Amino acid sequence: MQDFERLSVAFRYPTPDRLAELEQAADDMESGSAKRQFRAFVNELEGLSLAEWEELHTRSLDLGPLFVPYVGWVTWGENYQRGEFMAEMKVALEFEGVSMNGELPDHLDPVLRYLAVADPPLPSLVEVFPAAVATMTKKLKESDDSSPYLLLLKAIASAADNLKTPVGGAR
Q: Residue 79 pLDDT more than 80?
A: yes
What are φ and ψ of residue 142, in 5° steps?
Answer: -65, -35
pLDDT tens track for 88-109: 999 999 999 999 999 999 999 9
What pLDDT score does 170 carry?
45
Model pLDDT, residue 171: 40
Read off the pLDDT band of 134 (50, 70, 90).
very high
CB of 86 closer than 8 Å to CB of 106: yes
Q: Which amino acid is at 61?
A: L
54: left (phi over 0), alpha (psi -120 to 50) or beta: alpha
Output the pTM of the full model.
Answer: 0.90
φ/ψ (deg, to 5) at 147: -65, 135
Q: What is the pLDDT of residue 163?
A: 81
Averaged pLDDT, 139-166: 90
- pLDDT value at 165 more than 90: no
Tell me what pLDDT residue 66 has: 86
Query: pLDDT tens, 23-64?
Result: 999 999 988 999 999 999 999 999 999 999 999 999 999 877
pLDDT at 65: 82
Give the chain as a 3 state SS string: CHHHHHHHHHHCCCCCCHHHHHHHHHHHCCCCHHHHHHHHHHHHHHCCCHHHHHHHHHHHHHCCCCCCCEHHHHHHCCCHHHHHHHHHHHHHHHHHCCCCCCCCCCEHHHHHHHHHHCCCCCHHHHHHHHHHHHHHHHHHHHHCCCCHHHHHHHHHHHHHCCCCCCCCCCC
Q: Among the listed ranges 11-20, 59-68, 138-147, which one has the minimum average pLDDT value?
A: 59-68
Comparing CA positions, the residue from 84, 67, 66, 46 lying closest to residue 170 is: 84
Between helices 33-46 and 148-160, what is the axis angle to 10°? 160
